Amino acid sequence: MNVVIVGLGNIGGSFAKSIRHSFKDYNIYAIDINVDTLREAEKLDIINKGYTDFKEIIPEADLVIFSVYPMTLKNMVESYAPYFKPNAILTDVTGVKESIIAEIEPLLHSKIDFVFGHPMAGRESRGLGFSSRDIFQNANYIITPTKKNKHENIMFLENFVKKLGFGNVSKVTPEFHDEVIGFTSQLAHVIAVSLINSDDIERNSKRYTGDSYRDLTRITNINEKLWPELFLMNKNHLLRHITLFKDEIERMEDAIRTNDIQKMERMMVESKRRYHDLHDLEYNPED
């Protein structure tokens, strides 16, 4: 089995390390524009060989994992298209699906199967140096099957990522993926950036922070070349989630303004119930 990872950043590097660990007999190759990164990965023995010219290795690939920016992905697949091996399986890690799939599927020969996926794992620091098998352990994975995908290839990807350590692997429509990710991921990033940017105290707030603030702002070391793209590709869902979130903020704001303790308590009891559900804990209102 020849696996080619395109883009050896944080996620691509974590794939290389995980595959090396879980599939001893696979050959792992990588394509990247950065030669130093490729040499480093070869030295770490997490890839067999690295390439800057995709034509040298793509024709050998049984599985291609595109771990690149969404805007890059389409052009890349377009250039690679004539070189894919018949019956190759392609997959990606992109955080938005519907528009990407609509652009990419028409580019592909019917013998090539692109099974789109999204590992719900990442780090606030970029690059191969911060990649790690650990970030995949028990993380969620989403596969968004389309009518073109062969059942056996969807199953292959599902079993493959489970073996890498992912926990729940969900199969949902691209539309649903974008709706839910607009909430759990993109809205979270909008909020974190807005929170840290709304600090007008400028008197060394960091001396006065607890874990809450550090947790809520952990993702603010954000990749400014990636996230605006993702936001715009999922504009409608994201704008709807922002509106619903603002409605909730305003309910709380009203309760504070009108000294409505009962209303605040009800909102907090509801948030506790949801916290317990999120973490599969039993909720006992007396706790």
Cα–Cα distance for residue pair 186/4, rounded to 1 Å: 28
Q: Which of residues 240-259 bind a copy of itself (CB under 8 A)?
A: 241-242, 244-249, 251-253, 255-257, 259
Report the SS3 class of residue 2. strand
Nearer to a copy of itself, 27 or 170 (CB): 170
Q: Which of residues 206-235 bind a copy of itself (CB under 8 A)?
A: 206-225, 227-229, 231-232, 235
Residue 2 Cβ vs a copy of itself, minimum distance, rounded to whole Å: 29
Q: Which residue has the tokens 């105290």?
A: 201
162 in contact with a copy of itself (CB under 8 A): no
Q: 3-state DSSP helix/strand/coil percent for the chain, to nearest 5? A: 55, 10, 35
Nearer to a copy of itself, 148 or 273 (CB): 273
Give the DSSP H/E element, type plus range, for residue 170.
strand 169-171
Nearer to a copy of itself, 20 or 237 (CB): 237
44 in contact with a copy of itself (CB under 8 A): no
Cα–Cα distance for residue pair 139/128, rounded to 1 Å: 19
Cβ–Cβ under 8 Å, residues 76 and 66: yes
CA-based angle 19:21:23, to the nearest 5? 55
Residue of 112, 79, 101, 273 lying closest to 176 (CA atoms): 101
Q: Which of residues 268-287 bind a copy of itself (CB under 8 A)?
A: 268-272, 274-278, 280, 287
One-letter amino acid for residue 265 of the chain: E
Count CB atoms within 10 A of the CB of residue 139.
Answer: 17
Residue 218 Cβ vs a copy of itself, minimum distance, rounded to whole Å: 5
Per CB under 8 A, the list member of 24, 151, 198, 284 interacting with a copy of itself is 198
Give the DSSP H/E element, type plus range, for residue 28.
strand 27-31
Nearer to a copy of itself, 110 or 259 (CB): 259
Nearer to a copy of itself, 107 or 191 (CB): 191
Q: Which of residues 94-113 bind a copy of itself (CB under 8 A)?
A: none
- The size of the interface with a copy of itself (CB under 8 A), counted in residues, is 95
188 in contact with a copy of itself (CB under 8 A): yes
Cα–Cα distance for residue pair 108/164, rounded to 1 Å: 27
Residue 35 Cβ vs a copy of itself, minimum distance, rounded to whole Å: 18
Per CB under 8 A, the list member of 58, 149, 192, 282 interacting with a copy of itself is 192
Q: Answer left, alpha or beta for residue 26, where phi above 0 means left and psi between -120 and 50 means alpha.
A: beta
Site string for a copy of itself, 113-132 (x = CB under 8 A): -------xxx-x-x------
Nearer to a copy of itself, 2 or 37 (CB): 37
Nearer to a copy of itself, 110 or 204 (CB): 204
Cα–Cα distance for residue pair 9/129, rounded to 1 Å: 8
